Amino acid sequence: MEATSFAEVWQDVFSVQPDPPQWLVIATGAATLVVVLVGGRPWRLARNVVTIAHEGGHALVALLSGRQLTGVRLHSDTSGVTVSRGRPDGIGMILTILAGYTAPSVVGLAGIVLLTNGRITALLWISILLLAAMLLLIRNFYGVLSVVGTGAMVFLVSWFTPAGVQGFFAYLFTWFMLFASVRPVFELQSQRRRQPSPHSDADQLDRLTGVPGTVWVLFFGLFDIAVVALGIWLLMFRP
């Protein structure tokens, strides 16, 4: 980014960039799908971004539903916890818990809306602002490290790289949020089978609604897969 004044920065951020070539859209989608499916160290590292979105979803809906947000913790095993105060039951609590496993795919879909309107730089800077807001809620060192590291990477790309690199990174990020939203749902059910815990999102929803936890896991999975299908259509097949 070559802007030297606030007005120029603002103009650059919200300017419309040309659509990237179709091969780049396909290549970034294929690359992120491989990372999600194969797993290993790249997935474990990138999964921290999914955790940030997951806990950010809890935090945002908690605030919107009138709950008092205490803080967010992110852990090195890619788990996290969002603590809020308020009624221990009711629609606000249900929606707060429901937001976690649906948030990453919603973030991906929001990214697609920006990308299909040519707002590549805007996507990157909105991500930076959201990460800065998330940082204010973090209550542990690893969480700070994770959020600051992610934000620094996005800033460096948005400020120091040409439009082509920004486009590549933006599509890579958006595809990843879409595809990566599904795998944690399978991990959740696998963990529920191996080590049942009353603290998982699905089991908390079970206690709050009387609907079995497995049904909530199925809902998470169907919701995220539906958003992935919509995202693929918007990026690949929409005229």
In a domain, 71, yes or no: yes
Q: Which domain holds residue 50?
A: 19-237
pLDDT of residue 10: 61
% of the chain residues with pLDDT over 90: 81
Q: Does residue 1 form part of some domain?
A: no
Distance of CA 1 to the CA centre of its chain: 25
Contact 53, 177 (CB under 8 A): yes
Q: Per the domain annotation, does 12 fall within a domain?
A: no
Residue 209 lies in a domain: yes
Q: Alpha carbon 198 to chain centroid distance?
A: 24
The answer to the question of residue 9 being in a domain is no
pLDDT tens per residue, range 39-54: 899 999 999 999 999 9
Longest dimension (CA), the chain: 57
Distances (CA, A) of 197 to 47, 190, 201, 203, 215: 21, 12, 10, 7, 16
Does residue 150 form part of some domain? yes
Please, which pLDDT band fits residue 212 given cuts at 50, 70 and 90?
very high
Q: Is residue 128 part of a domain?
A: yes
Domain count, the chain: 1
Report the alpha-carbon angle 70-72-78, nearest 5.
160
Angle at 187 (CA atoms; ends 185, 189), nearest 5 degrees: 75
**Is 216 inside a domain boundary?**
yes
Give the tens place of pLDDT for each residue, 170-187.
999 999 999 999 999 999
